[in-house]
Amino acid sequence: MTLYKNREKFNKFSEKIGYIFSTIGLTPNQWTFLSIIIALIGVWFIVNYNFFWGAIFVLISIFLDIVDGSVARATKQVSKIGGYLDTIVDRYVEAFIIGGLVLINLPDFIIDFRFWLFAYFFGSLMTTYVKAAAVEKNLKKSEIRGGLVERADRMILLIIGLFLAVLSPVYLVYMVVLLAFLSNITTLQRIKIAFS
């Protein structure tokens, strides 16, 4: 499922995006911070049970996450600091959205819904941590990629869940349960890769 396998197609799309958005005049880091603001607007809608607009703003935020890197490449402003900042902001955006879901009442599925949110959040953090730890501990020379769901995959599934919540919040619950399983399975897959 992971989108990184389609990098070649994505890179062509990214080049066009970079060219278009570089004409606006914002720096790559400004685009990165703008994605946080847009995500927070999305969270505000989610907290107010307006799942449609919540999904729209989260989708825009994720799109801006593509824009910042694309603009950096188009304007030759790619930097280690920018890449690091982008990674940190990505984690904040996902955490804000999950935090917004904690604040609303959604149906339980077998056990309390908030347990599934915690499992999803923990799995999403661990998929990132295990790849960083593998490099830090010299198990791997380059970052680990792959597994069932990377961040882009998780965010797409979450956005689909938010759109489906317009029909019934229970669909969003099912999507969070799915994400809880997939993100933790991905963590285990990456641990296996680190040991190989």
Question: CA 69 → CA 53, 78, 122, 192, distances in Å?
Answer: 25, 8, 26, 30
Say how far apart CA 115 and CA 3 lie, in whole Å: 27
pLDDT of residue 11: 62
pLDDT of residue 173: 96
Q: What pLDDT, in 10s, does the model give residues 103-145?
A: 999 998 999 999 999 999 999 999 888 887 877 777 766 777 7
Between 42 and 80, where is the model more confident?
A: 42
Nearest of 103, 153, 143 to residue 123 by alpha carbon: 153
Between 11 and 144, where is the model more confident?
A: 144
**Whole-prediction pTM value?**
0.85
97 contact partners, CB below 8 Å, separation of at least 6: 39, 42, 43, 46, 58, 158
Say how far apart CA 113 and CA 82 lie, in whole Å: 36
Structure tokens, 54? 């919540």
Between 65 and 102, where is the model more confident?
A: 102
Q: What residue spans of 23-75 are helical by DSSP H? A: 28-47, 51-74
* Candidates 65, 90, 112, 153; catalytic one: 90
Q: Region 139-161: what's the mean pLDDT?
A: 84
Between 39 and 13, where is the model more confident?
A: 39
90 is catalytic: yes
* Torsional sign, CA 177, 173, 130, 71: positive
pLDDT of residue 26: 78
Question: CA 186 → CA 72, 122, 130, 154, 189, distances in Å?
Answer: 29, 12, 10, 11, 5
Does the pLDDT value for residue 185 go beyond 60? yes
Any idea which architecture 3-195 has in CATH? Up-down Bundle (1.20)
CB 144 within 8 A of CB 129: no
Of 28-32, 39-43, 119-123, 163-167, the poorest mean pLDDT is in: 28-32
Of 43-52, 55-64, 116-125, 142-151, the poorest mean pLDDT is in: 142-151
pLDDT of residue 122: 94
pLDDT of residue 10: 58
Q: What pLDDT, in 10s, does the model give residues 14-31?
A: 777 777 777 787 788 888
Q: Region 160-183: what's the mean pLDDT?
A: 96
pLDDT of residue 20: 77
